Amino acid sequence: MGSVATTIDEQIKILGERGMTFDCEESKLKEILLDIGYYKLGFYWHHFQKDRNHNFFEGTKISDVIKLYYLDVNLKSVLAKAINRIEVNFKTKLIYFGSNKYKNNPFWFCDSSLVGDYFIDEFPRVYTNKFINDNRPIKSHHKKYPKHTYAPAWKTLEFLSLGSIIVLYSCLKDSNIKKEIALCFGIKKPAIFENYLKTIVFIRNICAHNDLLYDCNTAKEIETTPMIIFNNNNRHSLDSSIKVVLYFLGQVSTNRKNEVEKEINSFFKEHQTNPVISKILTEKSNYQF
């Protein structure tokens, strides 16, 4: 949009001059631009542009851009719910195995003899007065036990972010606990388990912050195991990340995994007969129709 704000009418004129076809009523087009926004839609019509001057390929329709946008929205909604289910299960496993291993130490997660320095050093920046006040059970605990620096693991860890929980897992000094938790998800090697967890949190962050999903790629290569087969051996694509999420969800609930997989496939296959969108999805998401 440049450095100067534009009106809806000006935005429509610019798009028209660049070759966009408006296959809807003008009133609907204005409604879309005021609802989603010109700037945000730019991330979706980017792949419809043929040059650096932002001109569109001949035949580019605004309806295709909107379809791509809503595919992205729907995928984020479904994946966010799936990841939440995985997060709850993973936290439960970590709390259970850690707290039963160290029955006489309810604050084992902040014990430097049990957990690596990276988590120990960073944790006070997480466990702030704001953290305490924002989470009622934590606040109630400190009101009842004012001398405690932290609340016990089964309270504290419930309110940590998925990212923080993964860091805690990776910093556990007892490799047996890490193996026990990984095996709960059918994975023998903790290093591969961590790699998959980081892939999940990567997708989770995109969903949580409403970033672009349909053409995302993980910075780090996703590890391979016999349980997950990646299309074209592409271990960075959205399709590969989705496979990791579905695998983990299947370890929590087979029925829910099947439901989510069916729903995701329906989102993609809705555009199977649209040559423009299907080409974008195949190239950018690595989804195989």
pLDDT, average across residues 145-150: 96
Mean pLDDT computed over 186-209: 96
The secondary structure of residue 37, as a DSSP letter, is -
CB of 105 closer than 8 Å to CB of 111: yes
pTM of the model: 0.94
Query: Of all residues in the chain, what percent carry a pLDDT higher than 90?
Result: 97
**What's the confidence (pLDDT) of residue 2?**
63
> With 0-12 CB in 10 A as exposed, 13-18 as middle and 19+ as buried, what is 23?
exposed
What is the mean pLDDT of the segment spanning 176-204? 97
What gap in Å lies between CA 94 and CA 96, rounded to an integer? 5
Give yes or no for residue 189 having a pLDDT over 90: yes
Q: 182 falls in which pLDDT band (50, 70, 90)?
A: very high
Write out pLDDT tens, residues 43-99.
999 999 999 999 999 999 999 999 999 999 999 999 999 999 999 999 999 999 999
pLDDT, position 4: 86
pLDDT digits over 250-275, tens only? 999 999 999 999 999 999 999 999 99
Tokens 């309270």, located at residue: 155
Helices (DSSP H) in 50-161: which residue ranges? 62-101, 117-126, 129-134, 136-144, 153-156
pLDDT(1) > 70: no
